Amino acid sequence: MTATVSTPSFPSRLPQVGTTIFTVMSALAAEHKAVNLGQGFPDFGCDPALIEGVTRAMQAGHNQYPPMTGVPALREVVSQKIEALYGRRYDATSEITVTAGATQAILTIILSCVSPGDEVIVLDPCYDSYVPNIELAGGVPVRVPLTPKTFRPDFGRIAAAITPKTRLMLINTPHNPSGTTWTAQEMQQLEDLLAPSNILLLSDEVYEHMVYDGARHESASRYPALAARTYVVSSFGKTFHVTGWKVATVAAPAALTAEFRKVHQFNVFTVNTPMQVGLADYLKYPAPYLDLPAFYQKKRDLFRAGLEGSRLQLLPCPGTYFQCVDISAVTDASEADFCQQLVKNLGVAAIPLSAFYGDGFDQQVVRFCFAKKDETLLAALERLRKL
């Protein structure tokens, strides 16, 4: 008698997770040969000097495991960079860790400090990995909405969400998907709010070098009482146009870093060596990241100028490489339906902001990515002016 062959079933760890909006919109964009301003990555290359540095590292034999915490030279130059920009010195040995991208860093932070039943405050709309990461750790996500269309933190609602079970809070500045940035006053308000508590903070700062109009990035590292409880996440992929490299860092006080590394060593252990060595050499020269705000501001201004006079209402964009627009003067359709129609009818892909909310809140706002070649942006603008 032949036994029946079947694959065992088991309860899903993430039963609510399906195909992401980014996958859906990118597939639709490819089908309709659309200009894809949906997913947040550049369509242009990085500095050839960075490629050359990684190539030299490989040729020099830097192809075996590096230390679990990251190549020492890279951690040291990151420490120097943070001190120069934000005034806080992190010890390169005990307080900076190289990770396999920011998404891995965020998951590892959450797994290291959130236990089953702990509550974690998340500000909606948010990057799509936050809540699944919390759920994988057994934590309870507590969603607190930012103010509609202005995307400012509502400290009254944040304070009301804090309970004795609150273990961690996540913030993101500059903010994906809205492009807003936290102000110094807001960071000080957060510092005051958390001061009497034992709550940890995860500050996702992957767009730290994309702050415009002469403003400064308000890193949690600047604020001593915040820095003492914060994991700061930064991204080389976002900064140097190499998102596929998946290399990032976490800076945190030694006690927090020690717990972080306990998890880090067992989920990725370490990060590819030649890219770390190449980045360490490249970071000795600050011009590439110091010049980044001007580089992206030109693209932002090109895109915004192209939409002036259209029925798409531009929302403020003080940071990131995302421009949000209010579509209410164009259509009564939902954000998701508008984005589908935009691809099919005009050949431009965008992302509905409702995809970043836990409850699918629809305020008729969609997001475009302007981290593209000028010719890509101009092609998209020519089509968008038909709205």
- In angstroms, the CA 305 to CA 385 distance is 11
Per-residue confidence band for 238, with pLDDT thresholds at 50, 70 and 90: very high
Q: What is the pLDDT of residue 1?
A: 60
171-176: average pLDDT: 98
Q: What is the pLDDT of residue 217?
A: 98
174-194: average pLDDT: 98
Q: Give the rounded percent of residues in the chain with a pLDDT score beyond 70.
A: 99
pLDDT at 18 over 90: no
pLDDT per position as a tens digit, 262-300: 999 999 999 999 999 999 999 999 999 999 999 999 999
Per-residue confidence band for 111, with pLDDT thresholds at 50, 70 and 90: very high
pTM: 0.96
pLDDT at 153 over 80: yes
Q: What is the pLDDT of residue 338?
A: 97
75-86: average pLDDT: 98
337-363: average pLDDT: 96
Q: What is the pLDDT of residue 19?
A: 79
Q: What is the pLDDT of residue 16?
A: 87
- In angstroms, the CA 205 to CA 173 distance is 6
Q: What is the pLDDT of residue 339?
A: 96
pLDDT at 141 over 80: yes
Is the distance from CB of 127 to CB of 172 less than 8 angstroms?
Answer: yes
Q: What is the pLDDT of residue 183?
A: 98
Q: Please give the span between the terminal C-alpha atoms of the chain, in angstroms, as a whole number.
A: 66
| Alpha-carbon torsion (307, 309, 310, 315), positive or negative | positive
pLDDT at 134 over 80: yes
Q: What is the pLDDT of residue 39?
A: 84
Q: What are phi and psi of 264, to 5 degrees?
A: -55, -40
Report all structural domains of the chain as residue ranges with CATH numbers, in order of start: 21-40+290-384 (3.90.1150.10), 48-285 (3.40.640.10)
101-129: average pLDDT: 97
Tokens of 170: 């996540």
204-220: average pLDDT: 98
Strands (E), the chain: 35-36, 96-99, 119-124, 140-145, 166-172, 200-204, 230-235, 248-251, 313-314, 322-326, 348-349, 351-352, 365-369
133-137: average pLDDT: 98
167-181: average pLDDT: 98
As beta bridge partners, residue 166 has 119
